[in-house]
Amino acid sequence: MAGKMSAESLQAFEHKIGYRFSDKDLLVHALSHTSYTNEHELPKTQSNERLEFLGDAVVDMIVSDYLYKNYRDLPEGMLTKLRAAVVCESSFAELAAAMGFGDYILLGRGEEATGGRSRASVLADSFEAVTAAIYLDGGIGQAAGWITERLKAPIRLAASGKAAKDYKTTLQEMVQKGSSGRVSYQVTNEQGPDHAKVFTVEVSIDDVKMAQGRGTSKKDAEQAAASAAIKQIVKKNTNK
């Protein structure tokens, strides 16, 4: 096992990501950042970097397969652009932040002190590593189901030309098309020292709480919250 996590923490994380591991060591390995293994003088191979390498290929293949089968009228060039819009650091970091990865990643003290739990690269790498762990634990079917469920909404947004930049504007446009249109944001939590604060923001639509997001600035946290709300709305409309 790469690092140490309590059974309660493992179970809580599994609940957040919606997948239960048969091999718990795989999950701990996926959450072990290189700063943690270095600090504890563990072999470099016990960090999540090798799983990240595998996860990158697994996600790429799964998304390519999904796009090929579900966007049959699009030429190769457009499929490539769609894939690039969602298979990227910012997309993975947002998904990882929305699922609370930052609370569970095993970090070294220095990395944690400098805001590693909310750093996009750390979150994105852990997302790829967890994807690889799911693939190794449950097979390609489990990994494909897990990935596509989380990326379907971003893919639809990218296909509609609203790929990834201003989620607050996109959310406002989506809400205004409905029966009401008042979107509000509220900071619900601030953590960390002044030089590395992490903000949690809650977004509401007509005073109904929709989602929350985290970021190293209030603006980034609002964008993350809006992104999470968009995913909820798209999923709800799809299931109608």
Q: Are residues 142 and 181 in the same domain?
A: no
Provide the pLDDT for residue 164: 47
pLDDT for 137 equals: 98
- Per the residue annotation, which of 94, 112, 128, 222 is the catalytic one? 128
Question: For residue 236, what pLDDT band results from cuts at 50, 70 and 90?
Answer: low
Structural domain boundaries enclosing 195 = 167-240
The token pair at 104 is: 């569970």
Does an H or E element contain 68, and which? helix 49-70
Q: Which amino acid is at 85?
A: A
Please report, to the nearest 10 degrees, the dihedral formed by the alpha carbons of residues 93, 184, 196, 2 taken in order. -30
What is the average pLDDT score of the chain? 87
Domain end marker among 100, 134, 164: 164
Give the Cα-Cα-Cα angle 237, 147, 60 (nearest 5 degrees): 125
128 is a catalytic site residue: yes
Domain containing 226 — which CATH number? 3.30.160.20
Is 60 one of the catalytic residues? no
String of DSSP letters for 169-188? HHHHHHHHTTT---EEEEEE
Query: Of 111, 131, 164, which one is at a domain's C-terminal end?
Result: 164
The string of pLDDT tens digits covering residues 161-203 is 655 456 787 788 777 765 557 899 999 999 877 777 788 999 9
**CB environment 32-63: b (16+ within 10 A), e (fewer):** bbbbbbeeeebeeebbbeebbebbbebbeebb
Residue 79 C-beta-side C-alpha neighbours within 13 Å: 16
State the catalytic residue, choosing from 52, 56, 111, 112: 56
Task: Tell me the two tokens of residue 210.
Answer: 């929709």
